[in-house]
Amino acid sequence: MSLPEADPGLFQTLYTARALRRFKPDPIPDEVLFQLFDAAIRAPSGQNVQDWRFIVITSLEVKAKLQEWAEEGWGRYQARFGDDPAAIDALPRSQRLSLRSVGHLAHHLATVPAVVCVTGLKGRHSTPGGSIFPAVQNLLLTARALGLGGSIFNLPLGHRDELMEMLELPENNEIYCLLPIGYPTDRHGPVRRKPVKQVVFMDKWQNPWPFAEQQPDEGWTERWAPPNS
Ligand SMILES: Cc1cc2nc3c(=O)[nH]c(=O)nc-3n(C[C@H](O)[C@H](O)[C@H](O)COP(=O)(O)O)c2cc1C
């Protein structure tokens, strides 16, 4: 397999890169994997330190451990719904579907082709994560553009210290997130978010921006959606 010929373009990529958590078992070819990281590392970081490091976990043994820890984390999360997992069925549709996909991934993490562990220097930056997550987002957007899917998935990180040891990470580094990546079985986007008018203010807190108030809540879909969709 080689890189896809048609790049969906910036806006279609941005507006459709939702969190995908169900994957085919197909491996990710090296040239595709390389493109993910070659794009990820174009991100900015404080003082251009670039202390991000990425460990591509493909070992079945490590992924099985991650799955065990994710199932544990998922069990704790589900406890919020009492002892009745069916309580999730009563949630609004988008929340329910999203939670179902989290549960699915927790139980199938060992079968995901690659889980990327993203690390950075401990205490190096005054805005923790600010120098790591731009690269994470570059990676996820590139994955979307190449027909891959993924999401941040930190459920296994209840066992952070053990994972550091398994991956032989030096003490002066820390784990920021895990990114299961693969060819998705679910479809990309559209990404649903609160409208601009609800989160952008003019000059002062909660002072409306009249232009934004006149725009559709779902955003400028014509900017990215194919005409017949
Ligand atoms: C900092 C951060 C942590 C996240 N942690 C998790 C996680 O532990 N498990 C998970 O399934 N998704 C995680 N996500 C993904 C979000 O749940 C997801 O992006 C959000 O619900 C929007 O979903 P959508 O893009 O499909 O609309 C995380 C996202 C961010 C930015």
| Contact indicator for 16, 229 with CB cutoff of 8 Å | no
The maximal CA–CA distance of the chain, rounded, in angstroms, is 55
- Residue bearing the CA closest to ligand 1, atom 3: 152
The pair of three-digit structure tokens given for residue 25, joined into one six-digit string: 């078992």
Q: What pLDDT does residue 90 have?
A: 85
- Integer CA distances (angstroms), 162 to 116, 154, 165, in order: 16, 14, 5
Q: Reply yes or no on whether the pLDDT at 229 is more than 60.
A: no
Instruction: Find, among 225, 139, 219, 149, the residue nearest to 183 by Cα.
Output: 149
Q: Cα of 11 to ligand 1 centre, how many Å?
A: 20
pLDDT in tens, 203-218: 999 999 999 999 999 9
Q: What pLDDT does residue 152 have?
A: 98
- Residue 19 Cβ inside 6 Å of ligand 1? The answer reads yes
Q: Which of 141, 152, 181, 192 to mutate to test the pocket of ligand 1 (most atoms within 8 A of CB)?
A: 152
Q: What pLDDT does residue 94 have?
A: 86
Q: Reply yes or no on whether the pLDDT at 1 is more than 60.
A: no
- Residue bearing the CA closest to ligand 1, atom 23: 19
Q: What pLDDT does residue 151 have?
A: 98
Q: What pLDDT does residue 78 have?
A: 83
Minimum-distance ligand 1 atom for the alpha carbon of 17: 25
The share of the chain scoring above pLDDT 90, in percent, equals 83
Q: Which of 101, 139, 144, 154 to mutate to test the pocket of ligand 1 (most atoms within 8 A of CB)?
A: 154
Average pLDDT of span 62-87: 88
pLDDT in tens, 37-70: 999 999 999 999 999 999 999 999 999 999 999 9
3-state SS, 46-91, equals HHHCCCCEEEEECCHHHHHHHHHHHHHHHHHHHHHHCCCHHHHHHC
Minimum-distance ligand 1 atom for the alpha carbon of 151: 15
Describe the crossing of helices 30-40 and 133-145 by its angle, rounded to 10 degrees. Answer: 140
Q: What pLDDT does residue 70 have?
A: 98
Which domains are present in the chain? 10-216 (3.40.109.10)
Instruction: Find, among 12, 3, 108, the residue nearest to 60 by Cα.
Output: 108
Q: What pLDDT does residue 89 have?
A: 83
Q: What pLDDT does residue 228 have?
A: 60
- Residue bearing the CA closest to ligand 1, atom 31: 152
Question: Which of the pair, 116 or 1, is modelled with greater confidence?
Answer: 116
- Residue 15 Cβ inside 6 Å of ligand 1? The answer reads no
Q: What pLDDT does residue 84 have?
A: 72
**pTM of the model as a whole:** 0.95
